[in-house]
Amino acid sequence: MAGQFELGSKHIECMKLANQNISEIQDTNTKEIAKKMLAKTYGFLPSESHVYDDYLGLTVAMEEIAKVNSGVASVLADQVILREIVKAYGNNNANTVLSSKETIGILCSESGLASISNISTKAVRNNGQWTIKGTKQISNEQLLSENYLVFAQDEEGLIRLFVIPEDQITIDIVNKNIASTKISLSHAVIDLTVGDNAHIGVINDEFEYVQTVARTLVAATSVGIAHSALITSIGVAKEVRNDDGQAISSSQNMQFTLADMFAEIEASRMLTYFSANSIDENKANIKLATMAKVKASDIAAKSSVDVLHILGNIGYLSNIDFANVVLRAVDNQVKGGTNRTQMAKIYQYMLAKK
C-alpha cells in the first residue's frame, strides 16, 4: 500500500526478503521460528545484520514479519533492544550475551512504572555477589525466553543490568475473574543471589536513545498487526453477501469503516518510518517514537476488534487463532509503559520542544 513516505528500492527489497524468509519457515513453534530468523540475522543491529543495514530497513522488516507472525516479531524486537542496551551500557561480561544463540527476554516493566528511574526491583552487592529481589511484568512471548535481562536499582540509585537463566526466575500466574471470564496475568518473581559474572552493565544516562529504538519497533510490529487486520477485513467484506445477494463491501457503512482503518494505519506507518529514518540520520527523537508507538498500537488494537465484528458475518468463534492477534495488539498498548502514560510523556516532550 502506497504512502507519502517514499521507500527506496533497498528498503522495498528488505520488505520482500523479510516476508519471504518468515513465510518459508515450516514450523508452528514461536521460539523455534524466532531462532531460525535470528540465524538469518533478523533481530540484530543494522551494523551487524546481513539482511538490512539501517534502522528504516530494520523497521520495515519487523513490520513484514509481524504481518505473518506477530509473536515472532515481538521476540526479534526484544533481541534488537537487548543489543542496543549491551552496545550502550555493557561491560566485559556482556560479550558472552551477544555470542549466545539463545533468546533473551527483557524484564524492565513493573506495575505502575512510569520511568526507568523508578524501578522498584533492588540489587544489593555483598562479598562479590548480588542479591536481586523484585517483581516484573512479563508477556507471553517473553515466557519463551531462555535467559532474561533484568533491570534492578542498587543502593546508590544506579540501574544495573543482569542476565539470569529462565530456570532461576519464578513465574507467578495470577487469575482474575472479569465479567465471569478468567483472566491470567503473568509476573516474573525474582529473589536470588548471583555472581559478578551475571552483572553486564550500568545505565548511566536518560536511556532515551534505546527507548526511541524500542518504541519505533513496537510501532512497526503494531503496524504489521493492523495491516493484517485490514487485509482480513477487506477479504471478508468482499466475500460475504447480505440478504440482497450483494457483497457487504457495497455498504457505505462498511466502506467508511475500512477507509477509516486504512487512513489510520497509513498515518501510523508514515510516523513509524519517519521515526526510523530520523535514527538513521542521527536525529533520533523520543517524541516521534513515542507518538508512533501510541498511534500504531492504538490502531492495531482498534483494527483487530473491528475485524472481529466483520468476522462475525462468517460465524466467528472466539477460540480461533485471530483471538491471539487481538491479545498481541493490546499487549503493544501496554508494552514499555501504557499508552496513557506515554500520552503524558508526549505532553512533556511537547512542552520541552523535543
**Residue 22: pLDDT over 90:** yes
pLDDT tens, position by position, 300-325? 989 888 887 776 655 554 445 566 77
User: What are the pLDDT digits (tens) for 195-210?
Assistant: 999 999 999 888 999 9
163 phi and psi angles, rounded to 5 deg: -105, 120
DSSP three-state, residue 65? helix
**Is residue 2 a part of any domain in this protein?**
no
Are 193 and 215 in a shared domain? no
Count of beta carbons in the 10 Å neighbourhood of residue 353: 6
Prediction pTM value:
0.89
pLDDT of residue 111: 76
- Identify whether residues 166 and 74 lie together within a single domain: no
For CA atoms 159, 160, 165, 167, the dihedral sign is negative
The DSSP output letter for 160 is E
Of the listed ranges 37-46, 110-119, 158-167, 258-267, the one predicted with least confidence: 110-119
Residue 267 pLDDT level (bands cut at 50, 70, 90): very high
Instruction: List pLDDT tens digits, range 6-17.
Output: 788 999 999 999
Residue 155 CA, distance from chain mean position: 31
| DSSP category for residue 114 | -
User: What does the alpha-carbon distance between residue 163 and residue 178 come to, in Å, rounded to a whole number?
Assistant: 35
H-helix or E-strand spanning residue 267: helix 252-280
Using 50, 70 and 90 to split pLDDT, how confident is the model at 269?
Answer: very high
pLDDT beyond 80 at 257 = yes
Contact criterion met (CB below 8 Å) for 119 and 210: no
217 shares a domain with 197: no
Q: At which of 38, 57, 89 does a domain end?
A: 89
The C-alpha cell at 149 is 535481562
175 and 287 housed in the same domain: no
Q: Mark whether 213 and 346 lie in a shared domain.
A: yes
Between 68 and 307, the higher pLDDT residue? 68
Mean pLDDT value of segment 101-125: 85
pLDDT at 270 over 90: yes
Task: Output the nine-digit C-alpha cell for 190.
Answer: 525474582
Q: Is residue 273 assigned to a domain? A: yes
pLDDT value of position 100: 63
Q: Which three cell numbers stand for residue 167?
A: 530456570
191: three-class secondary structure by DSSP: strand
Of 16-30, 126-140, 208-222, 320-334, the least confident: 320-334
Q: Is the pLDDT of residue 97 over 70?
A: yes
Cα separation of 265 and 245, whole Å? Answer: 30
Amino acid at position 51, single letter? V
User: Structurally, how many domains does the chain consist of?
Assistant: 3
Selection from 222, 207, 268, 234 nearest residue 84 by Cα: 207
- Both 113 and 242 in one domain: the answer is no
| Whether residue 29 has pLDDT greater than 60 | yes
Cell of 235: 477479504
Q: Beta strands 129-137 and 181-195: pairing type?
A: antiparallel
20, part of any domain: yes
The 10 Å CB-count burial string (b at 16+, else e) for 1-40 is eeeebebeeebeebbebbbebbeebeeeebbebbbbbbeb
The total of other beta-carbon atoms located within 10 Å of residue 172's CB is 12
Q: Does a structural domain hold residue 96? A: no
Residue 233 shares a structural domain with residue 192: no
The answer to whether 302 and 332 are in contact (CB under 8 A) is: no
Answer yes or no: do 213 and 197 share one domain.
no
Residue 77 lies in a domain: yes
CA-based radius of gyration for the chain: 21
Could you tell me the residue range of the domain that residue 67 belongs to? 9-89
1 has a pLDDT exceeding 50: no
Please tell me which of 46-50, 138-142, 173-177 the model is most confident about, judged by mean pLDDT: 46-50
Predicted pLDDT of residue 325: 72
Q: Is residue 114 part of a domain?
A: yes
- Integer CA distances (angstroms), 67 to 22, 50, 94, 225, 281, in order: 10, 21, 32, 6, 27
330 and 250 both lie in a single domain: yes
Q: pLDDT digit string (tens) for 117-143?
A: 889 999 999 998 999 999 998 887 888
Give the single-character DSSP code of 167.
G
Q: State whether 288 and 322 are in the same domain.
A: yes
| Amino acid 319: pLDDT | 46
- Indicate whether 326 pLDDT > 90: no
